[in-house]
Chain A
């Protein structure tokens, strides 16, 4: 059995990197066989091929893992075709054309340079670079120098001009690339904001929705606005992405004209019911409630029988009206109370 399997495995071309197997010796299904037989045959062949892949997989050296043995797949051998077309070649920039004609070749320059004033090795470009113009403390005067000219500011303006010129030529090269449709992907989104394509967007591929809209517009562009046109099988009703507002008639009538009244009524009910809770004024309700409560309590005290009151009170503690001179004494209120208790 194992020998048969090994023989079969040799028969097939197995690409473990892609987890695929091919049987190049298979003559293919005969044209006369029925569909059922065909399916059966395909399934059989498929299982055999999958089995061959599995056999090969388990023969690979594996490391144990939580989920089971783990296998490192070899690099795939079968080349698979690209999904997307190759990107378009970028047209050569103006400099590249010039360099070609003059035979100028790019040569590698070292990243680091020796910086004499500081006596250090520094990078050629960027922050803290060698020979940075901004860091020069003194510029030697030359006999050709014009009097009254600041050499520092002159250098600054010259540098700015150079940067501007470079930007300009960069944009020109990008414009050329945009015409061919070879804009680098990093610039594509900014193409309208940069002065490359003007205000025109880069033409996009027509999507499914766009096709649907186009079909909708086309089908409604007839004398009957698409009402009496026969639809093709599978064609959907046209879409109207634009909002069509319809207003009720200006003057109240009998048919559709009476709808405004209904609408008004409906909205009125909605507005009034949404503010329904305002009917109850909580502050006022609380006030009324507390007043009632107090009144009830007061009533109860009053309703208590008179003889009971007399019994509760000790006989000697009779409430007396105080003499007038004592009442308006200059002692504070709590002192007065104390006095009363003493008596």
Chain B
């Protein structure tokens, strides 16, 4: 377990920024409200462990130092992993964090929820609602109509273009969904 260096921090922040925009500030400067220095304001921080990035409160980091590197399996919330080529991938565990601070959202119709949860892209036919002024290639968090976060992806078309699309066209590319908790349970 170690803090991210400057390069890694930039990569992680850039990726998060795609989904949360300026709300990134709230994620980085989020008080943990935990541990002995509750009043002084312990924060959440990012820690790297075995190529995975964890979003942890500082109090928990302090306690986790008691555990040796080999034995430490996980701590806090894993938000993603670094690939061998140095790219950063968000994993499904980061969904709670993204959903709470999301800038662009897509709501799915109940009929297409299952299709998305099996790992398919979001089609125009399944699109219930979409945030106004979503641009192409922006990160979007995907919700069910009852506001339950289901996953996240990338907008394939801007909101304007979505109106004219035919029902079978892709609106958002699938990146991750909560079905992965079952499908690739052992990789998470």
Q: Which residues of A contact B (CB under 8 A)?
A: 245, 247-252, 260-261, 263-264, 266-268, 270-272, 275, 278, 281, 283-284
Contact = CB atoms under 8 A, between A and B. Distances in A.
Nearest to A251: B62
A169 B62 CA distance: 68
B10 A267 contact: yes
Nearest to A249: B3
Given A267-B13, A268-B13, A251 B61 contact: yes
Interface string B8-27: 01100110010001101100
B13 A271 contact: yes
10 contacts: A248-B3, A249-B3, A250-B2, A250-B47, A252-B61, A267-B9, A267-B10, A275-B17, A281-B133, A283-B133
Contacts of A260: 3, 45
B34 to A, nearest CB: 13
B19 to A, nearest CB: 12
Interface of B: 1-3, 5-6, 9-10, 13-14, 17, 21-22, 24-25, 28, 43, 45-47, 58, 61-62, 65, 133, 160
A271 B61 contact: no
Contacts of B160: 283
Contacts of B9: 263-264, 267
B17 A264 contact: no
Contacts of A261: 43
Contact of B28 (A268, A275, A281): A268
A11 B3 CA distance: 83
Given A251-B62, A271-B17, A272-B24, A245 B10 contact: no
B28 A250 contact: no
B21 A278 contact: yes
Contacts of A278: 21
A250 B68 CA distance: 13
Pick from B1, B9, B58, B160 the residue with the most CB of A within 10 Å: B9
Contact of B25 (A247, A248, A268): A268
A250 B61 CA distance: 8
A120 to B, nearest CB: 62
A263 B6 contact: yes
B5 A247 contact: yes
Contacts of B5: 245, 247-248
Given A271-B14, A281-B133, A250 B6 contact: no
A268 B25 CA distance: 7
B28 to A, nearest CB: 5
B10 A270 contact: yes
A250 B13 contact: no
Nearest to B16: A271
A6 B11 CA distance: 82
Nearest to B42: A252
B59 to A, nearest CB: 10
A247 B2 contact: yes
Given A251-B58, A272-B25, 20 more contacts: A247-B3, A248-B3, A248-B5, A250-B61, A251-B61, A251-B65, A252-B45, A260-B3, A263-B6, A263-B9, A264-B9, A264-B28, A266-B6, A267-B13, A271-B10, A271-B14, A272-B24, A275-B21, A283-B133, A284-B133
Nearest to A281: B133
B79 to A, nearest CB: 15
Contacts of A251: 58, 61-62, 65
Pick from A248, A267, A283 the residue with the most CB of B within 10 Å: A267
Contacts of B46: 264
A263 B133 CA distance: 33
B50 to A, nearest CB: 14
Nearest to A264: B28
A249 B1 CA distance: 10
A252 B58 contact: yes
A251 B65 CA distance: 8
A250 B65 contact: yes
B119 to A, nearest CB: 29
Contacts of B43: 261
CB-based closest 7 A-B pairs: A267-B9, A271-B13, A247-B2, A248-B3, A260-B3, A267-B10, A252-B58
Given A267-B9, A267-B13, A271-B10, A250 B3 contact: yes
B22 A272 contact: yes
Nearest to A247: B2
A248 B14 CA distance: 21
A271 B46 CA distance: 16
A248 B8 CA distance: 13
Contacts of A270: 10
A250 B1 contact: yes
Contacts of B25: 268, 272
Nearest to A265: B28
Contacts of B21: 275, 278
